[in-house]
Amino acid sequence: MSRRLLDLALGVPALLVSVPVMAVAATLVKLDSPGPAFFVQTRVGRGRRPLRIYKLRSMVHGAERKGPAVTASSDDRITRVGRLLRKTKLDELPQLFNVVKGEMSLVGPRPEAPRYVEQYKPEWLPLLEVRPGITDLASLVFRDEEQLLSQAHDRERGYVQAVMPAKLQVALEGVQRSSVVYDLGILLRTALVVVRPGASTHPALQKSAQAIERLNHEPSK
């Protein structure tokens, strides 16, 4: 079975089941804070093509104008309902539309914002040759990324210099190991993490934490 067939075989039923869940979540988002229930972000997709991904809004309306581009767990722009959506990953459900449309896969490297792709090193470019995904190995390893970034004095610098390099290296490992069986394993692990969340102990996460600690003691450039 090809990856595209797997995406359709699992993605279409998942989307149908998720529509009522998204409707309830969207209502709660609207009741919790002013603004639209959904929002669209422009990311970089396969072949460097712009990709518009859909999410349930988990932050205050206009959050991008009220703080840094990266988010930490202590960010006061995150709404009450948004914290629950982020914890359960329900805010990512609308990306099933991207999967059905063929713009994304269920499993693949997370699509990054253009400003960060511009800083990719040559060894990370293979990530742009495959369809981005809703989840992957790096998503599992760095599932507590926001908690990690809350330790950084400068979140933007902490993400670019400490988190992104380690995360992209793990994403590359996932792409190199990719197969239908491997992807099914990632989906199962993702479901288990949502049901039974726990802290990641992967060496890449520890490496990022140590890098953030070093950056906190270095002068900004």
pLDDT at 126 over 70: yes
Q: What share of the chain is helix, strand, coil (3-state, %, to 5)?
A: 60, 10, 30
Q: Is 129 in a helix, a strand, or coil?
A: helix
- Reading the block at residue 41, the tokens are 């972000």
Q: In whole angstroms, how far apart are CA 144 and each of 9, 150, 213, 214? A: 30, 10, 16, 19
Contacts 24+ apart (CB under 8 A), 116-119: 116/159, 116/160, 116/164, 117/44, 117/48, 119/160, 119/164
CA pair distance 11, 117, nearest whole angstrom:
27
Q: Taking a C-beta distance cutoff of 8 angstroms, is the pair 145, 163 a contact?
A: yes
| CA–CA separation, 5 and 113 (whole Å) | 27
DSSP bridge pairs for 40: 54
Q: Is the pLDDT of residue 124 over 70?
A: yes
- pLDDT, one tens digit per residue, over 57-115 is 999 988 888 877 788 888 889 999 999 999 888 999 999 999 999 999 999 999 999 99
Q: For 151-200, how does the pLDDT look when each residue is reduced to its tens digit (9 = 90+)?
A: 999 999 999 999 999 999 999 999 999 999 999 999 999 999 888 777 77
Which stretches of 39-128 are DSSP H helices? 80-88, 95-101, 114-117
What distance in Å separates the CA atoms of residue 5 and residue 183, rounded to the nearest whole number? 12
Per-residue pLDDT, 1:
63
Rounded distance between C-alpha atoms, residue 75 and residue 73, angstroms: 6
Half-sphere exposure of 48 (CA within 13 A, CB side): 8
* pLDDT tens column, 198-213: 777 899 999 999 999 9
| Contact of 148 with 164, CB cutoff 8 Å | no
Q: Are the beta carbons of 109 and 175 closer than 8 angstroms?
A: yes
CA angle (189 as vertex; 107, 209 as ends), nearest 5: 90
